[in-house]
A and B are shown apart, each in its own frame.
Chain A
């Protein structure tokens, strides 16, 4: 057998201070994620197409009758619903399925042996996904304004606050989906169920008035219904409902805690 040389410390073998990848790495990751999304445009048909379809089929029926302060049913109900739909589809369906695929394929595992933190992958994913949401919302708003004469919200600041809270809540729900889904297929299945439950109870299929009382009440406190209510209030220039804001904040908190407890990198 070989004689083992006397071991001695590997002085200078490792850097005295660890270089931590920063903004340059994050930007490189965002660019990489964006390129991948741009090469898979088919994946955007549903999150962009379905809300547009709802907009096109509901806008004419909403009519031009003024309801409050020069705003029509299109402004107060249809557009907030369509915006929340875009955010829900991106946050609850699209983003978790990407993460589940990364985990399944071992991409997160491969990155885990580099200086790049897997958390950075998550951040890059979230940034690109949020950009996609922004494009989807801009698309829906442009179609609503140009084709149907939709009006902007009376309180733009409140609308942006409501949108930010709704987005945070939906992505938090999406992180729960990503955390508990063992495979990409199960992620789509769980995400779809979550989307339908949130959407149906939040008035996506004809308004919460048509739902049984307890279901409508629960729906108004889930992120979809709370988001629609908050955006509607902003469009009408009314104060954002405290109950909706509380529900959205609570959903964000619960989602973050559950994801932190159960999310697996591999």
Chain B
């Protein structure tokens, strides 16, 4: 195993808990993400992935526990945090009647030093759709606009929830190259995904969630080794199955 270079802590979750009525969505989650690190969050549906990143983004208040993003509390330091945070939500619409250009103009007005319009269009390969209304775009193109808008403010932390869902293989690869460039630039990335190939390619480390708890954490090789399988996908099945088994016993 390579000895990791010590880096600053960018995101720190401590004993984070969130309950929706009778469902415990996140159950005492503790996690550290370092500056410039790309962390993949994997888990079956309902594992608590989206709730966790929504709490980090300040969209939901935890019932218990502590969140720190670059030393900031997502609720107490809301204004400062939004300067360094870029978020692409799994659910979250944009103004359908505005064109891609108009949306970028609007979002650029939110930040003191935004990326250029042309740069953003190039990043997500939508230069030919600049004057097309958002509502007229395909699902994949809308997803790319959403990612572009998450990058407008030159974020230090980027949260991507289901980054490439709905994209065709070519668009997925283009998007991956964009994310790799951001990693190279030192952006801290939280990537929620169902795509094993995606997290294998893009992430330094992976957290596997089940029932709101961490089932496994480490590099791809470490998780595969822990599960005693050959691939990450097999490890995912084995480890989440183990969780289900434990729950059934309980």
The reply to whether the CB of B19 lies closer than 8 angstroms to some CB of chain A is: no
Is B64 part of the binding interface, using a Cβ–Cβ cutoff of 8 Å? Answer: no
Chain B: which residue is nearest A113 at the CB level? B87
Q: CB-CB < 8 A to B110: which residues of A?
A: 21, 25, 114-116
**Which chain B residues border A8 with CB–CB below 8 Å?**
6, 8-9
Greatest chain A CB density within 10 A among B98, B102, B109 is at B109
Q: Chain A's nearest CB lies how many Å from the CB of B85?
A: 7
Contact for A1 among B105, B107, B109, B217, CB less than 8 A: B217
Whether the pair A109, B92 counts as a contact (CB closer than 8 A) is yes
Q: Is B34 an interface residue (CB 8 A)?
A: yes
* B-contacting residues, A11-51, CB 8 Å: 11, 13-15, 17-21, 24-25, 27-29, 32, 35-36, 39-40
Q: Classify chain B: how many residues form its interface, as a range.
A: 35 or more
**With A19-B111, A115-B79, A115-B110 given, is the CB distance from A2 to B205 under 8 Å?**
yes
Known: A15-B83, A28-B105, A115-B110. A10 touches B218 (CB 8 A): no
- Bound Cα distance A190, B35 (Å): 49
**Neighbouring B residues of A115 by C-beta, 8 Å:** 79, 82-83, 110-111, 153
**CA of A77 to CA of B218, assembled, Å:** 76
| Interface flags, B77-121, vs A, CB<8A=1, else 0 | 101111111010101111111100010011101111000000000
Between A9, A27, A112, the greatest number of chain B beta carbons within 10 A of the residue's beta carbon is seen for: A112
B92: chain A residues within 8 A (beta carbon): 106-107, 109-110, 113
Determine if A3 is an interface residue (Cβ-Cβ < 8 Å): yes
CB pair B59 A15 closer than 8 Å: no
Interface string of B15-40 (1 = CB under 8 A from A): 00000000000000000101100000
Question: What's the minimum C-beta distance from B226 to chain A, rounded to whole angstroms?
Answer: 7
Q: What A residues does B105 contact at CB under 8 A?
A: 28
Contact assessment for B82 and A5 in the assembled complex, using a CB-CB cutoff below 8 Å: no
B70 touches A109 (CB 8 A): no
Number of residues on chain A facing chain B (CB within 8 A): 39
CB atoms of A112 and B59 under 8 A apart:
yes
Q: How far is the CB of A201 from chain B (nearest CB, A)?
A: 36
Minimum Cβ distance to chain B for residue A9 (Å): 6
Q: How far is the CA of A8 from the CA of B12 in the complex (A)?
A: 11
Complex alpha-carbon distance, A7 and B1, angstroms: 19
At the interface, yes or no: B169 with Cβ under 8 Å from chain A?
A: no
Docked complex Cα distance between A45 and B226 (Å): 65
Residue contact B95 to A36, C-beta cutoff 8 Å = yes
B213 at the interface (CB under 8 A from A): no
Q: Which residues of A contact B9 (CB under 8 A)?
A: 7-10
Interfacial chain A residues near B111, Cβ < 8 Å: 19, 115
Residue in B closest to A38 when the chains form the complex, CB atoms: B97
Nearest opposing residue in chain B for A8, CB measure = B8
Interfacial residues of chain A within 106-128, with CB under 8 A of chain B in the complex? 106-107, 109-110, 112-116
The answer for the CA separation of A107 and B110 in the assembled complex, in Å, is 15
Asked if A4 is an interface residue, CB under 8 A from chain B, the answer is: yes
Cβ-based interface call for A105 (8 A): yes
**For A105, what are the chain B residues with a Cβ–Cβ distance below 8 Å?**
93, 96
Chain B residue with Cβ nearest A39: B97
The answer, among A6, A106, A107, A114, for a CB contact under 8 Å with B107, is A114
A186 to B14, CA, bound (A): 41
CB-contact partner of B89 in A13, A14, A36, A106, under 8 A: A106
* A114: chain B residues within 8 A (beta carbon): 82, 107, 110, 153
A25 touches B109 (CB 8 A): yes
Task: List chain B positions with a Cβ less than 8 A from chain A.
Answer: 1, 3-10, 12, 32, 34-35, 57-59, 69-72, 77, 79-85, 87, 89, 91-98, 102, 105-107, 109-112, 153, 156, 205, 217-219, 222, 226
Q: What are 11 sample pairs from A and B whose C-beta atoms fall under 8 A apart? A: A2-B217, A5-B5, A10-B10, A14-B84, A14-B156, A15-B83, A28-B105, A35-B98, A107-B94, A113-B89, A116-B109
